[in-house]
Amino acid sequence: MSRLTVEALRYHRCGPIDFTIADGTCMSLTGASGAGKTLLLRAIADLDPHAGRALLDDVPATALPAPTWRRRVAMLPAESAWWHESVGEHFGVGQAAGNVPSAESLARLGFTPDVMRWEIVRLSTGERQRLALLRLLANGPRALLLDEPTANLDGPNVTAVESLIAAFQRDEQAPVLWVTHDREQRERVAAQHYRIENGTLRTEPSP
């Protein structure tokens, strides 16, 4: 159970930005290309220099070592990167023991446990995107920052990813920030909707 708070965050030419995502809820974020959505996620994950602060349950990012903060407030970039030869070597990164996703969560996204032996070069874009989500969740995060997590997926896989994230959000009572351009997806996954425009955050009315 966690709550994600952003206070007076300024980065690049955006801000100040303030919001709170309560535990177990999802906030959607939209905005024109180049408006600063990805940069907002990077600033919250403390990957870019910024002013203002982000807090998880009243603990500011700066109170923790940056790698610890990033494991707790986990960002899924729009394009995942892979550097080892096989899928399995990428799990448990940054931790002492390798964390492997459960057979159940693998199955929810259409994989069998032997996916861990697959070669990275043979993966399709969609497979990479789904595996990147599993890789992130296997690290045991407390909050999620998702940058268009279903952009390269077909219909059934979009549904599978949405339901996996919803289950995580519910089971862990985790806050989720979800960047999407898809109006219908926004209504399906999130309770509060925001838009970045001219460097500031505005609430986006539901239709």
Point out which residues bind another protein (CB under 8 A). 45-49, 62, 65-68, 70-71, 74-75, 77, 79-83, 93-95, 135-136, 139
CB of 100 to another protein, least distance (A): 14
d(C-alpha 184, C-alpha 181), whole Å: 9
- If the CB atoms of residues 14 and 138 are measured against another protein, the closer one turns out to be 138
Half-sphere exposure of residue 142: CA atoms within 13 angstroms, side-chain side: 19
Nearer to another protein, 51 or 66 (CB): 66
CB of 50 vs another protein, minimal distance in Å = 10
Cβ closest to another protein, residue 78 vs residue 160: 78
Q: How far is CA 25 from the centre of its chain?
A: 13
184 within 8 A of 158, measured Cβ to Cβ: no
Which structure tokens are listed for 71? Answer: 């494991």
| Distance of closest approach, residue 11 Cβ to another protein, in angstroms | 12
- Residue closer to another protein (CB basis): 50 or 193: 50
Pairing of strands 4-11, 51-56: antiparallel
